[in-house]
Structure 1
Amino acid sequence: MPETDLELLIRAARAAGAIATRYSGREAQRWDKPDGAGPVTEADLAVNALLEQMLPAARPGYGWLSEETEDNPDRLDRDRVFIVDPIDGTRSFAEGSLTWAHSLAVAERGVVTAAVIYLPMRDFLFSAATGTGAFLNDTPIRVSEPQTLADAHILAARPNLLPDHWIGRAAPVFQREYRPSLAYRMALVAQGRFDGMLTLRPSWEWDIAAGDLLLREAGGLCTDRFGTALRFNNNLPRLAGVIAGGTMVHESLSAALDPESTGFPAL
């Protein structure tokens, strides 16, 4: 039988891990991107080169969107597109952490249909395809459903709790924790290890595309900060943040956010 998109992404993610783990994070060459766009290492570029060769060769009709490739508007004319972050959590990689990830997705007409988030240093492979559920190393995963928001453990960077974001100028009460890779945060919520996550900053599609499908297939809700379903392969591949979790967590966080907040730069 022909290889499915998910099988292709899994094979590519493991190949990416084999490349990336040849580099020592602290010793890998590192550069800062222009305009404060963050760091990039030689490992990011090596993984990107592998994936850009491997994935389009297997699916020549698909478009390509990657953090480490200059954007080509031709992708906008394709029904299906690969959306790739070669290493999500580059700062963590450069610091020698274990929590960076490869994030790979296929979107069809704006909706993600196959997704993989792979942490090679921990051999955690999260995967999902439309209608088949979400998995961690072949074991089904499901979002958690705490009784109240106050009981919930939410992954969020500290600036998301600034009062300007919230109705009544106060964030709701919950247990805040943090992990540096946005893709890994979304996977952890899909797994049920944490009850929800939010980022209110504008977010690049390659950081969140794979996590969006994982969360939905794990029974969760995943939207932008305004409660709108995420759509991918946009002209500007950036979305208005992410709120994700089980039904109660998602609805509680959404209801508490001030829709008029301008605490972070507009898209």
Structure 2
Amino acid sequence: MHPTLNIAVKAARRAGSIINRASLQLDQVSVQAKSPNDFVTEVDQAAEAAIIEVLREAYPEHGILAEESGASAQSSDSEYQWIIDPIDGTTNFIHGFPQYAISIALTKNGALEQGVVYDVTRNELFTATKGRGAFLNDRRIRVSKRVRLNESLIGTGFPFRQFDHVDAYLAMFKDLTQKTAGIRRPGAASLDLAYVACGRLDGFWEMGLQPWDVAAGALLIQEAGGLVSDLAGEGTYMETGNVVAGSPKIFGQILPIIQAHRTAALRA
């Protein structure tokens, strides 16, 4: 395992122990609303602090972009930046719905280098290093070999923070529902992307995501032989927050369907 990936795994496991302990006493967890339908808990904050402590100890000069604490002072100067989501799926977590994960990625000059998605409830550790493949608990993973869209299971995420594009999204959803074997919305984008990487889902799309939702999962898919893009089929998904992903055969079929329902605002 690459040294930086090893540190990311150490950080994820330390945060995971905090989250697992808290999950046993959810009635005692303090919850605050950052914005409508967007929540943060003291557990998010403690898990993020634990992750940053491990990363800082090993790489004090690296920049950090974290969901709860934002960008560090080093982020504008360092060629390396860690991108962290301490609990992707906080709403699920506070309801005891076991679909949430820790997501940690490392970029070098803006390019993804390392990725970790840790499902703490199932003890499933997804890891990827650029050019070295993707793994689930040390077992090599690949995207699915399914080639027919009507046999494919597709993941998605409903708009829940901003509803500017909800009509376009619903049109995409309606079209894909009729042309696939099913649509799933578990509520944690990093895990959805990890599931694409290991073949549990054949494709995925969502709009309005943040870099920490996408970074690690995108690298997992790429290293597992899949494709990731924005709605235009380009590589700016980290900037736009709009993501389409899948195995090559299914990606090539769902992207045109999604593009057919883009509004002028989504084309900008």
Moved more, 71-80 or 157-166: 157-166
Cα offset, 1:71, TM superposition:
3.1
Deviation at 1:76, TM superposition (A): 2.8
Question: Which is further off, 21-30 or 76-85?
Answer: 21-30
Inter-partner Cα distance in structure 2 for 1:223 and 1:168: 16
Say yes or no: does 1:208 pair with 2:214.
Answer: yes
8 Å contact from structure 1 (residues 114, 129) kept in 2: yes
In structure 2, the CA distance between the partners of 1:262 and 1:76, relative to structure 1 (3 Å rule), is farther
Structure 1 residue 178 corresponds to structure 2 residue 185: yes
How far off its partner does 1:147 sit?
A: 2.3
Instruction: Tell me which residue corresponds to 1:59.
Output: 59
Letter in 1 for 2:254: L
Mapped partners of 1:231, 1:258: distance in 2: 14
* Code of the aligned partner of 2:216: A
Which residue identity is paired with 2:247? G
How high is the TM-score relative to the length of structure 1?
0.87
Using the alignment, how far apart are the partners of 1:127 and 1:169 within structure 2?
Answer: 30
Q: Which residue of 2 aligns with 1:235?
A: none
- One-letter amino acid matched to 1:129: T
Task: Number of aligned residue pairs: give it.
Answer: 259
State how far apart, in whole Å, the 2-side matches of 1:14 and 1:168 are: 37
Contact 1:162 1:171 in 2 (8 A): no
SS of residue in 2 equivalent to 1:210? helix
The percent of aligned pairs where both chains have the same amino acid is 31
Secondary structure, counterpart of 2:175 in structure 1: coil
Contact 2:63–2:71 at 8 Å: present in 1 too? no
Cα distance, 1:257 vs structure 2: 2.5
Alpha-carbon distance change, 122 to 165 in structure 1, aligned in 2, over 3 angstroms: closer
Matches of 1:12 and 1:55, distance apart in 2: 7
Q: SS where residue 252 of structure 2 aligns?
A: helix
Q: Residues of 2 paired with 1:80 and 1:210: CA distance?
A: 15
Residue pair 1:167, 1:256 contacting (<8 A) in 2 also: no
Instruction: Identify, as 1 or 2, the structure richer in helix.
Output: 2
Where do 1:1-267 residues align within 5 Å? 4-23=3-22, 24-33=25-34, 35-36=35-36, 38-72=38-72, 74-157=74-157, 164=168, 171-172=175-176, 173-174=179-180, 175-199=182-206, 201-230=207-236, 238-258=239-259, 261-262=262-263
Distance 1:10 1:19 in 2: 15
Whether the aligned pair in 2 keeps the contact of 1:163 and 1:171 (CA below 8 Å) is: no
d(CA) in 1 for partners of 2:225 and 2:123? 24
Distance 2:55 2:187 in 1: 27
The question of whether the paired residues in 2 share the 8 Å contact of 1:83 and 1:205 is answered with yes
Counterpart Cα distance in 1 of 2:54 and 2:98 = 25
5+ residue gaps, structure 2, are: none
| Cα distance in 2, alignment partners of residues 168 and 192 from structure 1 | 22
- Letter of the structure 2 residue corresponding to residue 131 of structure 1: G
Q: Which amino acid aligns with 2:230?
A: D
Write the distance in 1 (CA, Å) between the matches of 2:200 and 2:37.
30
| TM-score scaled by length of structure 2 | 0.87
**Contact in 1 for aligned 2:143/2:196 (Cα 8 Å):** yes
Amino acid at match of 2:218: D
* Whole-angstrom CA distance in 1 between matches of 2:266 and 2:246: 24
Question: Which of 44-53 and 153-162 deviates more?
Answer: 153-162
Q: Aligned partners of 2:246, 2:18: CA distance in 1, in Å?
A: 32
| 1:5-25 Cα shifts (integer Å, max 9, x gaps) | 111111111111111112133
Q: Distance in 2 between matches of 1:42 and 1:166?
A: 34
CA distance in 2, matches of 1:66, 1:259: 34
Which stretches in structure 1 are left out of the alignment for 5+ residues? 233-237
Offset, 1:266: 8.9
- Say whether the 8 Å CA contact 2:211–2:241 is kept in structure 1: no
